[in-house]
Amino acid sequence: MRDARQILRDTFGYDSFRPGQRELVDGLLRGQDVFGLMPTGAGKSICYQVPALALDGVALVVSPLISLMKDQVASLLQSGVKAAYLNSSLTPGQIRLALSRAAQGWYKIIYVAPERLVTESFLRVARSLPLSLVAVDEAHCVSQWGQDFRPSYLKIREFLEALPQRPPVGAFTATATDQVRRDIVSLLGLRSPVSVCTGFDRPNLCFEVKRPVSKFPALVSLLTAERGKSVIVYCLTRKTVEEVCARLRELGFDAVRYHAGLTDEERRQNQDDFIYDRATVMVATNAFGMGIDKSDVAMVVHYNMPKNMEAYYQEAGRAGRDGSPARCVLLYGAQDVVMNRRLIELSSGENEELDEEQRERVRRLDEERLKKMTSYCFSASCLRAYILRYFGESAPENCGSCSVCLEEGRKTDITREARAVLSCVRGSGRGYGKTTVAAVLLGGDEGRSNETVRRRGLDQLPQYGALAHLGRSAILDLIQRLVGKGLLAFSEGEYPVLGVTPEGDAFLESGETLLAVLPDREPARPRRPAPKREEGELTERPELFAQLRALRARLASRAGVPAYVVFTDRALREMAGRLPQSEDELLAVSGVGRAKLERYGEEFLPVLRAYAEEHGVSS
């Protein structure tokens, strides 16, 4: 058996295992089942790829998406690993060829779509092969409680049972609640797996929530700040995707669109344009992204709030997979809640495998999750902490790199404003919706243009016009924050009205002070956090970095692979920082293995040497 550390270094070019990888690799090497729960970008693939190369025989990797397989196999081939994939994108002839090569022991790793596992032709080959292990990627797809339930994942167990000898099985996922975890273990039939749950924190991501008065200009300013870098913009509906993409193109952004309503052809084209850096902005519904592991996405913007935290963290997590600093920005609008409610209603009727009672339970669960998502958008404390606690982890109070923590210094005393809102709600007698409450606090002509205010004589309240100086949207925002703090609450039902909670009453009585940042009339751009420096990024040499990127783009298009398959941004940044001058020095850069050194060393070293010479620096 080859040494795992050696493989990690020689084939993948990494010096050491990341947290969790070692235990999972060792488990598989000992012949045990393993279960890895790690956030996107943590490096799950290494956990089965390294054992696959260390052990005799061939490893099968079950993976849900065609694009993912294609990418992974391209990366492996670049690293000198014999790999192939079997899915519906191949012609019957290609499949026959791959199967016959597999039967001859040609490959070390084969990616296979779940629905293919129990086909006659595949089973025959699989039964005859010495299998080193079976890895199940995106294992949460097996559970109907998870995101993206795929009934074909239920066949995996059947497949394993049909093998003459069961190899060790590894299951990997980035999203799993307790229920989903239990499902994965039982439905895949894992046998006392070695389980590793690494922290969900992604320190290189900066989380930001903005509640702009109007979203499109906010998006444009974000994209302008990140111009030239890869950005994904997620929208809730196809229609929004169309609109946003068209408007961006009018402004000269090289944006492409992606949603389930487009032809296969256009989707493939647009996805490739984005992955190969021909387009920098991808505007998409949540149909885009699963299995796309473009590692140099610099920012993920949510143009609409998604339906729950699971979806949000998964989508936002597509930023910064190579470990470089990246932004995750959510643009909240009250309309998003309404739209998500409607989508929940629609989708609850969809799953025909469920009976009425189950459906009702799923709907309630969805409602509950939507509320937690909304509270995230109004969180007055650290966003990262909110996320981590949601996923059951503990977290420090202040991360220093989310929009809330960065705003901390700008907090002011809003006790007076908060008291005005609460007294207004209390004084208005029977409950009113937030639009009416805001109209009262705003006062003046605008307030009087609200029909309920006029009819109910609410302009007689002492709070009438008390917060005119804030403007309408800031008042609405403040109301939401007070709901977020538990001082106000909405009633259930179709027309939720506001009421003061017992905590709100206590606040009014106690004379406590309340600190918060009031939104500006036009939201200001938050200061960017200073990017945390990775080890090895000793110097930043933007010109050299750009040169290396250009070289990479040429090599990638020559080889017909996405740029990051050649080297990640992070590897290039490290090269620019360290200025390796020899093959050995280049090999020391994280992400440079033997195969890539042989393939690309001669292309990159001259550029690095020329730079060093010209600038009189040595490494």
Closest-CA residue to 337 (of 299, 372, 301, 385): 372
Residue from 194, 405, 441, 475 binding Zn ion (CB under 5 A): 405
Q: Are 370 and 307 in contact (CB under 8 A)?
A: yes
Q: Where are the beta strands (DSSP E) in 381-448?
A: 412-413
In which element (H, E) is residue 299 found? Answer: strand 297-302
41 binding partner (options ligand ADP, Zn ion, none; Cβ < 5 to 8 Å by kind): ligand ADP
405 binding partner (options Zn ion, ligand ADP, none; Cβ < 5 to 8 Å by kind): Zn ion
Q: Closest approach of Cβ 354 to ligand ADP, in Å?
A: 30
Q: Is 37 helix (H, G, I), strand (E, B) or coil?
A: strand
Q: Closest approach of Cβ 38 to ligand ADP, in Å?
A: 5
| Beta-strand relationship, 297-302 and 34-37 | unpaired
**Could you identify the residue written with the tokens 């200001």?**
524
> What is the spatial distance between Cα 316 and Cα 310, in angstroms, rounded to a whole number?
10
Report the residue number, 299 or 475, with the smaller CB distance to ligand ADP: 299
46 binding partner (options Zn ion, ligand ADP, none; Cβ < 5 to 8 Å by kind): ligand ADP
Q: How many CA atoms lie within 13 A of 364 on its CB side?
A: 7
- Specify the stretch interacting with ligand ADP by CB under 6 A; choose among 37-45, 262-270, 416-424, 438-446: 37-45
Q: Are 145 and 308 in contact (CB under 8 A)?
A: no
- Specify the stretch interacting with ligand ADP by CB under 6 A; choose among 43-51, 200-208, 522-530, 606-614: 43-51
DSSP string, 503-570: HHHHHHHHT---EEPPPPSSPPPPPPPPPPPPTT-----HHHHHHHHHHHHHHHHHHTS-HHHH--HH
Q: Are 64 and 41 in contact (CB under 8 A)?
A: no
Residues 6+ apart with CB under 8 A from 84: 73, 98, 101, 102, 106, 107, 109, 110, 111
Q: For residue 409, give the DSSP letter.
A: G
Q: Are 519 and 473 in contact (CB under 8 A)?
A: yes
- Cα distances (Å, whole numbers) of residue 2 to 77, 242, 263, 279, 394: 19, 51, 46, 42, 38
Q: How many residues at the interface with ligand ADP, by CB under 6 A? A: 18
- Contact between 388 and Zn ion by CB under 5 A: the answer reads no
- Contact between 206 and Zn ion by CB under 5 A: the answer reads no
Residue from 20, 43, 64, 593 binding ligand ADP (CB under 6 A): 43
Report the residue number, 374 or 590, with the smaller CB distance to ligand ADP: 590
Tokens coding 514: 């309340």
Residue from 4, 9, 10, 17 binding ligand ADP (CB under 6 A): 17
293 binding partner (options Zn ion, ligand ADP, none; Cβ < 5 to 8 Å by kind): ligand ADP
Q: For residue 521, give the DSSP letter.
A: S
Q: Closest approach of Cβ 295 to ligand ADP, in Å?
A: 5
Q: Are 476 and 521 in contact (CB under 8 A)?
A: no
> What is the spatial distance between Cα 534 and Cα 323, in angstroms, rounded to a whole number?
8
Site for ligand ADP, residues 265 to 304, rule: CB under 6 A:
293, 295
Residue from 44, 259, 434, 552 binding ligand ADP (CB under 6 A): 44
- Contact between 135 and Zn ion by CB under 5 A: the answer reads no
Residue from 7, 29, 46, 388 binding ligand ADP (CB under 6 A): 46
Site for Zn ion, residues 424 to 443, rule: CB under 5 A:
none
Residues 6+ apart with CB under 8 A from 543: none
Tokens coding 208: 């930001």
In which element (H, E) is residue 206 found? Answer: strand 205-210
Report the residue number, 174 or 474, with the smaller CB distance to ligand ADP: 174
Closest-CA residue to 504 (of 487, 490, 489): 487
Site for ligand ADP, residues 554 to 583, rule: CB under 6 A:
568
Report the residue number, 399 or 422, with the smaller CB distance to Zn ion: 399
- Contact between 330 and Zn ion by CB under 5 A: the answer reads no
483 binding partner (options ligand ADP, Zn ion, none; Cβ < 5 to 8 Å by kind): none
> What is the spatial distance between Cα 171 and Cα 191, in angstroms, rounded to a whole number?
11
Residue from 384, 434, 485, 552 binding Zn ion (CB under 5 A): 384
Report the residue number, 15 or 360, with the smaller CB distance to ligand ADP: 15
Report the residue number, 41 or 447, with the smaller CB distance to ligand ADP: 41
382 binding partner (options ligand ADP, Zn ion, none; Cβ < 5 to 8 Å by kind): Zn ion
> What is the spatial distance between Cα 584 and Cα 576, in angstroms, rounded to a whole number?
16
402 binding partner (options Zn ion, ligand ADP, none; Cβ < 5 to 8 Å by kind): Zn ion
| Beta-strand relationship, 515-516 and 412-413 | antiparallel
Tokens coding 474: 């800031």
Report the residue number, 176 or 399, with the smaller CB distance to Zn ion: 399
Residue from 18, 157, 426, 448 binding ligand ADP (CB under 6 A): 18
Q: Closest approach of Cβ 62 to ligand ADP, in Å?
A: 14
**Could you identify the residue written with the tokens 């949601």?**
390
Report the residue number, 328 or 402, with the smaller CB distance to Zn ion: 402
- Specify the stretch interacting with Zn ion by CB under 5 A; choose among 118-126, 234-242, 328-336, 400-408: 400-408
Apex CA 161: angle with CA 156 and CA 167, to 5°?
85
**Could you identify the residue written with the tokens 């084969």?**
110
CB atoms within 10 A of CB 317: 23
For the chain, the residue count is 619
Report the residue number, 405 or 500, with the smaller CB distance to Zn ion: 405
Q: Closest approach of Cβ 200 to ligand ADP, in Å?
A: 12
Q: Closest approach of Cβ 111 to ligand ADP, in Å?
A: 13
- Specify the stretch interacting with Zn ion by CB under 5 A; choose among 45-53, 393-401, 413-421, 463-471: 393-401
Report the residue number, 208 or 296, with the smaller CB distance to Zn ion: 208
Tokens coding 1: 């058996």
Residue from 248, 275, 402, 422 binding Zn ion (CB under 5 A): 402
- Contact between 369 and Zn ion by CB under 5 A: the answer reads no
Closest-CA residue to 328 (of 234, 399, 265): 234
143 binding partner (options Zn ion, ligand ADP, none; Cβ < 5 to 8 Å by kind): none
Interface residues with Zn ion (CB under 5 A)? 382, 384, 399, 402, 405
What residue ranges bind ligand ADP (CB under 6 A)? 14, 17-18, 21, 38, 40-46, 293, 295, 321-322, 568, 590
